Amino acid sequence: MDYTEQIILFIVAFLANWFSALAGGGAGLIQLPALIFLGLPFPLALATHKIATVALGAGATLRHMREGHLNLKVLLLVCAAGVPAVIYGVFFILDVEPRKSEIALGLLTLSLVLYSFFRPSLGLVAEEKHRSIFGYAVGALVLMLFGFINGALSAGSGLFVTLWLVYWFGLDYKTAVAQTMVAVGLIWNFTGALSMGLVAEVQWSWLPALLLGSLVGGYLGAHTSILAGNAIVKRVFELITLIAAIKLLW
């Protein structure tokens, strides 16, 4: 690629990961289609995208760690439940035509944004819920499903995790986004990138611009999330989730 195309890659990565770090997910809904539009076949684009999104998690993690927004128990639960499912999802998608899964995921994503929109108080104030052994067990099972989605489709899994942490564990949106960016953006994406890199080709020449854009976008998106109130983060989450649903169904 020439310098102009590298700049385009950087801008795409920056915007996708800025929105993702602010809303708690959704980078793959912008960045992955852009890579396909620029000429990469789906398997190559997916592998390249997964490696690039590790920088999103790294940038966002650096910013959130400075603020002390991380809940260690919830964070460890998301990581432990999701990592094995991410690996399974990566190997599963290699032999499956993903269109039917995208339609089902799009319908489910649409239901998430409608649920959040019609619950105006959801996630604005934190309240501890389901912190018993049973509550953590149910939470882990659902997180495993989202981990599989992350590995298989790399589309919208962070948005699912963010809303689940708000709904099930009672986190406010800003705190939920912080956990998602560290656990999903860094740990899940690193696991998926490593797994995908072992079994699929990667467009290495595109990665420098993508990694830099993801790192800067992730850091500044997390910074914006910290400065914004829960109401703003909630609305951005709903907007990105709605775009995700339309994109998946389209």
- CA angle in degrees (0–180, nearest 5) for 61-217-195: 65
Give pLDDT tens digits for 218-242: 999 999 988 888 888 888 888 888 8
Predicted pLDDT of residue 179: 94
Residues 6+ apart with CB under 8 A from 150: 82, 85, 86, 89, 157, 158, 184, 188, 189, 192
Predicted pLDDT of residue 142: 95
Predicted pLDDT of residue 96: 63
**Mean pLDDT, 10 residues at a time, the chain of 250 residues:** 85 91 82 83 82 91 84 93 92 70 77 85 87 95 92 79 94 92 92 84 91 94 88 87 81
The parent domain of residue 66 ranges over: 3-249
Total number of domains constituting the chain: 1
- Render the burial of 43-75: b for 16+ CB within 10 Å, e for the rest: ebbbbbbbbbbbbbbbbbbbbbeeeebbbeebb
